[in-house]
Amino acid sequence: MRLLDKQHIEDIAIGSAVLGTGGGGNPYLGKLTAQRAIDQYGLLKLVKVDELPDDTLVVAPFGIGSPVPFIERLTIDEDLMYAYKAMTRYLGREIGAIMSAEIGGMNSVVPFALAARLGLPVLDLDGMGRAFPQLQLTTLTMYGHNASPVAVADEHGNVVIVDSIDNFWAERLARPAAIEFGAIAGGVGFPITVGDLKEAAVLDTVTLAETIGREIREARQEHRDPIKAVTDTTNGFRVFSGRIVDVSRQIERGWALGETTIMGGDEYAGRSMTIQFQNEHLVAMENGEVVVSVPDLIAILDSERGDPITTEDLRYGFRVTVLGMPCDEKWRTPAGLALAGPDHWGYEVPFVPVEERFAVGATR
């Protein structure tokens, strides 16, 4: 077990926003929630899967809906507590640990705040190795594990329990509840044992997020390039740099849908890139050609400071750098590509690993 202080949480929040590919909720708000939990309950507990008995029951708290309402809503602390209490009543079993459903933005950090209130540890893993906008898009689904029962709650204590036949139906039934709760709500789901997580989860991702955040922070302090610090840590690639010239965004069916257009600068002058998103970035297209796609990771960072920018915070005039990073190998299997590859999102293009396009010597 490792104890985490406020600086650890700061680094995890920044790093998880890089891995979150623009989604997962505002990392700043999640960071404040977790740091306040440290003030109230003490240092936070992070554990590896081999530190708990295999039969330990684990659940994942998360925000479900569009990240845009957080601009006004700010927190889902009480939503998550209502959802957790409803989950324990429904399961009738003791829960021994908390996990992140996705390693993205706020959804990577708020589990620590809930776990602190409950006196539980958080596991060093998640169900995606990135962020995705739909409940069924987890590596747990690939291994036959159910997201349901899922409890979805608002800040008033209204709770909907979804007990579905599969994870696709869990998504279809839980999202309308989130929409009725104001387009964002707290959820708790994915009841699973530690033994099953050893095979089905993406391991050590909280530590990876912390490392990325620390590398960005130290690069700035030492006047090094924070973008390079990220690519070195993630085996990623700088795929484009320039200035945002257009952002279109709308909330539809409980998601933030839209695209960002970037005009190239420096060595990218005379070129343009469009990135389409559904909460998270899905494809990056240069002059109309897809050059990076899901399930690989696409992140937009501030070109000078290296700060990741979530989709709800993209603005005209920002000078940004686009990174492409390899996803976890589980997503590159036939099962992973069938679940979350380009076809799932309506893009009739083959998946090409980012390193095949951008590694030294690669042809495009």
Instruction: Examine the domain organization and report whether 40 and 116 are in the same domain.
Output: yes
Using DSSP bridges, classify how beta strands 97-100 and 122-126 pair: parallel, antiparallel or unpaired.
Answer: parallel
Does the residue 82 lie in any domain? yes
Quote the tokens at residue 357: 């396009």
Instruction: Examine the domain organization and report whether 112 and 148 are in the same domain.
Output: yes
Instruction: Examine the domain organization and report whether 307 and 251 are in the same domain.
Output: yes
Does the residue 152 lie in any domain? yes
Q: Number of structural domains, the chain?
A: 2
Instruction: Examine the domain organization and report whether 25 and 88 are in the same domain.
Output: yes
Q: What's the pLDDT at 359?
A: 75
Does the residue 324 lie in any domain? yes
Give which of 77, 254, 135 is closest to 183, Cα–Cα. 254
Instruction: Examine the domain organization and report whether 6 and 116 are in the same domain.
Output: yes
Q: What's the pLDDT at 242?
A: 97
Instruction: Examine the domain organization and report whether 189 and 236 are in the same domain.
Output: no
**The residue type at 353:** P
Domain range for 244: 231-358
Instruction: Examine the domain organization and report whether 46 and 137 are in the same domain.
Output: yes
Query: Can you give the CATH number for the domain in which 106 is found?
Result: 3.40.1610.10
Does the residue 225 lie in any domain? no
Does the residue 332 lie in any domain? yes
Give which of 153, 93, 151, 101 is closest to 122, Cα–Cα. 101
Query: Can you give the CATH number for the domain in which 351 is found?
Result: 2.40.390.10
Q: Facing residues of 260 across strands?
A: 247, 275
Instruction: Examine the domain organization and report whether 199 and 240 are in the same domain.
Output: no
Asked whether the whole model's pTM tops 0.85, one would answer yes
Q: What is the CA radius of gyration of the chain?
A: 19
Instruction: Examine the domain organization and report whether 190 and 319 are in the same domain.
Output: no
**Cα dihedral 206→351→225→24 (10° resolution):** -40
> Would you say 303 and 227 are in contact if contact means Cβ atoms under 8 Å apart?
yes
Instruction: Examine the domain organization and report whether 122 and 39 are in the same domain.
Output: yes
CB within 8 Å of 199: residues ≥ 6 apart: 143
Does the residue 214 lie in any domain? no
Instruction: Examine the domain organization and report whether 20 and 158 are in the same domain.
Output: yes
Does the residue 363 lie in any domain? no
Does the residue 178 lie in any domain? yes
The residue assigned the tokens 């601009």 is 71
Give which of 83, 277, 108 is closest to 185, Cα–Cα. 83
- Per-position pLDDT tens, the chain of length 364: 999 999 999 999 999 999 999 887 777 778 888 999 999 999 999 999 999 999 999 999 998 876 665 556 667 889 999 999 999 999 999 999 999 999 987 889 889 999 999 999 999 999 999 999 889 999 999 999 999 999 999 999 999 999 999 999 999 999 999 989 988 899 999 999 999 999 999 999 999 999 999 999 999 999 999 999 999 999 999 999 999 999 988 776 666 778 999 999 999 999 999 999 988 999 999 988 999 999 999 999 999 999 999 888 889 999 999 999 999 999 999 999 999 999 999 999 999 999 999 976 555 5
**Element containing residue 235 per DSSP (H, E):** none
Quote the tokens at residue 140: 């747990």
> Would you say 346 and 56 are in contact if contact means Cβ atoms under 8 Å apart?
no
Instruction: Examine the domain organization and report whether 338 and 256 are in the same domain.
Output: yes
